[in-house]
Amino acid sequence: VAQSMFRLGTPDPAQRHAARIELERQPLGEWRDFYLDPKRELSTGPATTRVLFGLLALARARRVADVTEVHSVLNRIPVEDLGLTEQFVWLRIIGLCRETSPEKGQGHRAELIAKLLSLLKRYTREKNRPAVLCVAPEGTSDELRRRVLLLLGELGAEELPALATTLLFQSSQQED
């Protein structure tokens, strides 16, 4: 278990995937508490990457009892400072938690919307400046931006209509 947990922080996506699958096959009690530790320092880097992929494994277990704690850990992670791959993982965890128990995440709705808005700012074009396109194995920053907007819609964010209108008028992409 310890070796799998360590390999979750590697920069190689294939090794991270294999480590996550290996971790998911271990008894949940052997590793669950490590990833839900409320005292853990979370910023950026391999340690936070390990925690994110561990939370992904935990979210994939689909335990309603863990949703609130997973949300608490995710709210402590500075998502706007993470790399694109980690941001996709962060969004995937939110999605899995919402599928598992939408009502359990309602207590974190305001914090989640604030984090999503800060993430959206990072990938939104400014007037007279082209947007920077970032690419990761999971997708592009444009795809991440679209997923953030969809999640804001699911959460009923009051800011969404104004944001969507602005982004639509600034966009030259059919997908928007």
**Residue 111: per-residue pLDDT:** 92
Q: What is the mean pLDDT of the chain?
A: 86
- The residue among 26, 45, 25, 52 whose CA lies nearest residue 138 is 52
Confidence of residue 127 (pLDDT cuts 50, 70, 90): low
Residue of 122 and 63 predicted with greater confidence: 63
| Cα Rg of the chain, angstroms | 17
Q: How far apart are CA 25 and CA 52, in angstroms?
A: 17
**Residue 88: per-residue pLDDT:** 94
Confidence of residue 139 (pLDDT cuts 50, 70, 90): confident
Q: The whole model's pTM is what?
A: 0.85
**Residue 165: per-residue pLDDT:** 72
Give the phi and the psi of residue 136 in degrees, each rounded to 5: -140, 165
**Residue 96: per-residue pLDDT:** 95
Q: How far apart are CA 85 and CA 171, in angstroms?
A: 24
Residue 21 has pLDDT above 90, yes or no: yes
Q: What is the mean predicted confidence (pLDDT) over 105-131?
A: 79
**Residue 167: per-residue pLDDT:** 67
Residue 125 has pLDDT above 70, yes or no: no
SS3 136: strand
Residue 119 has pLDDT above 60, yes or no: yes
**Residue 131: per-residue pLDDT:** 61
Residue 176 has pLDDT above 60, yes or no: no
Asked whether the CA dihedral 10, 13, 14, 18 is positive or negative, the reply is: positive
Express each pLDDT in 78-94 by its tens digit.
998 888 999 999 999 99
